[in-house]
Amino acid sequence: MSWKSKAEVLFNILGCYGIDLEILGIKAICNVNKDTVAEITLATSGRYDSLIVSIQNKTNGTIATNKFIFEEYLKRLPSNNNYSKDVKRMYIWDDRGEFGWYIVEPKATKPIVDAILKYIELYN
């Protein structure tokens, strides 16, 4: 699976399909205005556990950066899985090209997408 299709799958799992994104590797670019873009990166420390949003001026570079950790925005669905209480952080994993939430799934991804959109709007 190419990086582009991997990123598309991951952004779709997160519900970011409501944002007009151009996928570049594990990053996506969203136009904020004619001079500014938002660069959204799937952050990983071995697992995809957050999104980093960097606001970039096309001429002057980085204006601001913020990390959106899934666990801080997403509520967990109740789980009958015995391991769910042992999972410290909510994350997406790659099981040989199959992407999905690892053991713990969020009730909805809208809260993190809304938070990212509000953050991007600050620079519009």
- What's the pLDDT tens digit per position in 99-117? 777 767 777 777 888 888 8
Report the C-alpha gap between 102 and 99 in whole angstroms: 9
- The number of folded domains in the chain is 1
Is pLDDT at 15 greater than 60 in this prediction? no
Tens digits of residue pLDDT in 43-58: 776 678 888 999 999 8
pLDDT at 23 over 80: no
Cα 45 to Cα 16: distance, rounded to the nearest angstrom: 21
- Residue 13, domain member (yes or no): yes
* pLDDT at res. 1: 46
CA separation for the pair 112, 73 (Å, rounded): 5
Exposure of 90 by Cβ count < 10 A (0-12 exposed, 13-18 middle, 19+ buried)? buried
State residue 63's pLDDT score: 95
* Mean pLDDT taken over the chain: 76
The answer on pLDDT for 31 being more than 80 is yes
pLDDT digits (tens, 9 = 90+) for 79-102: 666 655 656 677 777 777 677 777
Look at residue 95 and tell me if it is in a domain.
no
Range of the domain at 15: 3-73+108-121
In a domain, 12, yes or no: yes
pLDDT reading at 35 higher than 60: yes
- Residue 99 within a domain: no
- For residue 68, being part of any structural domain is answered with yes
Note whether residue 89 is domain-resident. no
Asked whether residue 69 is assigned to any structural domain, the reply reads yes
Determine the pLDDT at residue 21: 72
Residue 22, in any domain of the structure: yes
> Around Cβ 7, how many Cβ atoms within 10 Å?
21
